[in-house]
Amino acid sequence: MDRTSVFVVFNPRESDVNVLVMNTQYLNLKNGEGALITIRPFEKKDEDYRHAVDIVNSVWVEYPDTVEEWKESDEKRAKTLKWGRFFAEVDGRPVGFANYNQSLWLNHPGKLWVGVNVRPEFRNRGIGTALWQRLSQEIEQFDPLRLLTSAREDYVEGVRFAQKLGFTERMRDWESRLDPATINLADWERYAQRMAEQDIEIKTVAELTSDPNRDRKLYELEWAIDQDVPSPEPPMKAPFDEFQKVWERTNLVTDGWFVALDNGEYVGMSNFWLSQADPNLLYVGLTGVVRSHRKRGIAMALKLRGIDYAQKKGIGEIRTWNESNNQGMLGINNRLGFVRQPAHIDFVKEIRAERPEDAELSLVDTSEEELAAETVSSA
Looking at residue 125, what is its pLDDT?
A: 86
| DSSP label at residue 238 | P
As a whole number, the mean pLDDT across the chain is: 89
pLDDT: is 235 or 26 the higher one?
235
Q: What percent of the chain has pLDDT over 90?
A: 82
Confidence of residue 34 (pLDDT cuts 50, 70, 90): low
For the cut 50, the answer to whether the pLDDT of residue 337 exceeds it is yes
For the cut 70, the answer to whether the pLDDT of residue 33 exceeds it is no
Looking at residue 258, what is its pLDDT?
A: 98
What span, in angstroms and rounded, lies between the C-alpha atoms of 68 and 191? 39
Looking at residue 36, what is its pLDDT?
A: 83
**Chain segment 165-198, per-residue pLDDT in tens:** 999 999 999 999 999 999 999 999 999 999 999 9
What is the CATH architecture assignment of 2-172+348-360? 3-Layer(aba) Sandwich (3.40)
For the cut 50, the answer to whether the pLDDT of residue 229 exceeds it is yes
**Chain segment 79-125, per-residue pLDDT in tens:** 999 999 999 999 899 999 999 999 998 889 999 999 999 999 999 88
Looking at residue 12, what is its pLDDT?
A: 32
**Chain segment 143-164, per-residue pLDDT in tens:** 999 999 999 999 999 999 999 9
Between the CA atoms of 298, 219, 325 and 292, what dihedral angle is there, to the nearest 10 degrees?
Answer: -50
| DSSP label at residue 257 | -
For the cut 60, the answer to whether the pLDDT of residue 296 exceeds it is yes
CATH for 175-342? 3.40.630.30
Give the mean model confidence (pLDDT) for residues 242-264.
Answer: 96
Question: Do 37 and 17 touch, CB atoms closer than 8 A?
Answer: yes
For the cut 80, the answer to whether the pLDDT of residue 64 exceeds it is yes
Q: What percent of the chain has pLDDT over 70?
A: 87
Which residue in 207, 318, 222, 204 sits closest to 267, CA to CA? 222
For the cut 80, the answer to whether the pLDDT of residue 215 exceeds it is yes
For the cut 50, the answer to whether the pLDDT of residue 245 exceeds it is yes
Looking at residue 365, what is its pLDDT?
A: 57
Question: Do 100 and 139 touch, CB atoms closer than 8 A?
Answer: yes
pTM score, two decimals?
Answer: 0.87
Give the mean model confidence (pLDDT) for residues 345-372.
Answer: 80
Which residue in 182, 184, 177, 180 sits closest to 338, CA to CA? 177
| DSSP label at residue 252 | B
Q: Say whether 175-342 and 2-172+348-360 share the same fold.
A: yes
Question: Do 55 and 90 touch, CB atoms closer than 8 A?
Answer: no
For the cut 70, the answer to whether the pLDDT of residue 373 exceeds it is no
Give domain limits for the chain: 2-172+348-360, 175-342
Residue 316 sits at φ, ψ, to 5 deg, of -90, -25
Give the mean model confidence (pLDDT) for residues 210-221.
Answer: 98
Give the mean model confidence (pLDDT) for residues 227-254.
Answer: 94
Give the mean model confidence (pLDDT) for residues 285-296.
Answer: 97
Looking at residue 26, what is its pLDDT?
A: 41
| DSSP label at residue 358 | G
What span, in angstroms and rounded, lies between the C-alpha atoms of 53 and 175? 22
Looking at residue 16, what is its pLDDT?
A: 31
